[in-house]
Amino acid sequence: MVSDWEPAVEPTTVKIDSSRMEELHHLLLKEKQVTEAKTTNRYEAFRMTYAGGLMIGYTSGKIVVNGEQCEALLAKVLEHMDFEESRYDITIGSDEAGKGEWLGPMVVAAVALTPTQSAALRSMGVMDSKALSQKKIAELKEKITANSTAVRTVLVSSQTFNKRMGQLHEERKNLNDLLAWAHAKVVGEVYDELKRTRAVARMNVVIDEFSKLKTEDRLSRVLSLKQVDVVQRPRAEDEIAVAAASIVARRLREEWIDDWSRRLGIDLRNLTAQEAADRQDADTIAKTGYLKKTSE
């Protein structure tokens, strides 16, 4: 019985806008060998079986998928839905991790995806990293690396962050200036690689909004704003390329913390802000300006 179904492996959770669930439901039903099953509660928008696997869509916009063939079918259907990325040959998404935490570095990543790659990664469970466990982030980071056109990162160590923020304050600038530089750096590197390796007619750059003017100024130094559409908006992680970048950035930050925890023989995540501030190596492991605010 479908209602007694239990996954043999951990299922994949996919996220789309809840307003698109009816459309997805309709498109899946048009696929051969897809069988609709009875929903089991009021939160389910649909329940379907395919090739021995199961797909459950929820009214919240989440789809839980069990089975590689179900995942592949979902990727195929998602590719033909009119998401924003389907209007471009390439979408470059950029996001950061660690900008507001006192521990460890700030990491910014940019990921370039074709519409096919976006659909595939969406079907694998790529979404905003804040909604994912560390285990899932580690798993998806490898899938993103293997299923993207280009990936670039910049890691601003705690020590470098502290130095740069001091310089920026003297210049009457702030964190947004550092963010604009870092986002432009990784986006510019991806853009240069794409221009060298392939012909791209329609390209889109999507960044979570923090300072439009500063970001546009920095981007204008590394690419032609007349040839590329640039979108800065809140909740940009809804775009798969941005969500992928958020996963890559968050994973690299966690790897840095793991590495330094091993070097120092202590789990840095267990330190309080005051304990970190009292250490002689505080400048190495922490954003010291944040430590002062936290311990005040």
Report pLDDT for 294: 61
Alpha helix ranges (H) inside the chain: 21-29, 68-79, 115-123, 134-146, 158-170, 175-197, 212-219, 240-264, 273-277, 282-285, 288-295
Q: What is the largest CA-CA distance in the chain?
A: 68
Alpha helix ranges (H) inside 80-133: 115-123
Give the contacts of 56 (CB within 8 A, at least 6 positions apart): 44, 46, 47, 48, 63, 64
Residue of 256, 206, 251 whose CA lies nearest to 230: 206
Domain layout of the chain by residue ranges: 2-81, 85-258
Predicted confidence (pLDDT) per residue in 58-99, tens digit: 999 999 999 889 999 999 999 888 887 888 999 999 999 999
Report pLDDT for 5: 43
Report pLDDT for 291: 86
Residue 172, φ and ψ in degrees, nearest 5? 60, 40
Give the CATH H-level superfamily of domain 2-81.
Answer: TATA-Binding Protein (3.30.310.10)
Whole-angstrom Cα distance, residue 29 to residue 31?
A: 5
Counting Cα atoms < 13 Å in the Cβ hemisphere of 96 gives: 27
Amino acid at 197: T
Residue of 289, 142, 114 whose CA lies nearest to 201: 114
Report pLDDT for 227: 86
CATH class of the 85-258 domain in this structure: alpha beta
**Are 206 and 92 spatial neighbours (Cβ–Cβ below 8 Å)?**
yes
pLDDT lower than 50: segments of the chain:
1-8
Report pLDDT for 225: 87
Give the contacts of 89 (CB within 8 A, at least 6 positions apart): 114, 115, 200, 201, 202, 203
